[in-house]
Structure 1
């Protein structure tokens, strides 16, 4: 699903649920790769669910800027910047 689909075809609740699912999937993949260490997974969860409104704004800006790209790939880039690989 492209960023354009998420931005223009989903309401706020659907958008939050979809992006949260992508984040959870990436966090789980990180944990699977790093286990038993959960530091990377926790970094991802803290970044996304930590309550920092700037994160939501960053995601919105990133999706708006790259509307032709898949959301999962865009989120991967943002998460990699914040939490490494």
Structure 2
């Protein structure tokens, strides 16, 4: 399902839940990756991702929707991953 289809078919809370699910999955994956890499519990990257998404009311969500509109042919996780990488590194 492309970002264009997501924007067309999902509205309001449904779209937010979909995006949040992607962000949450990427935050947890980052936690696992960072913890395995350091050999101890490392929440720094995960905290950055959550902070980016929840810090400014709905600003990050609006940016995600704008990027979905600008890149309608890509799948949503690719778009969100690029945004997270820009904000929080890898």
Work out whether the TM-score is over 0.5.
yes
* Contact persistence 2:16–2:61 (CA under 8 A): no
* Contact persistence 2:6–2:15 (CA under 8 A): yes
Whose radius of gyration is greater, 1 or 2? 2
Secondary structure class of the residue paired with 1:68: coil
Structure 1's 53 and 13: CA in aligned 2 closer, same or farther, altered over 3 A?
Answer: closer
State the partner residue of 1:5: 5
What TM-score does the superposition give when structure 1 sets the normalisation length? 0.93
Count of equivalent residues: 85
Q: Name structure 1 gaps, 5 residues minimum.
A: none
Q: CA RMSD in A?
A: 1.1
1:61 CA drift (Å): 1.3
In structure 1, distance between residues paired with 2:14 and 2:57:
20
What TM-score does the superposition give when structure 2 sets the normalisation length? 0.88
Q: 1:66 aligns with which of 64, 71, 74?
A: 71
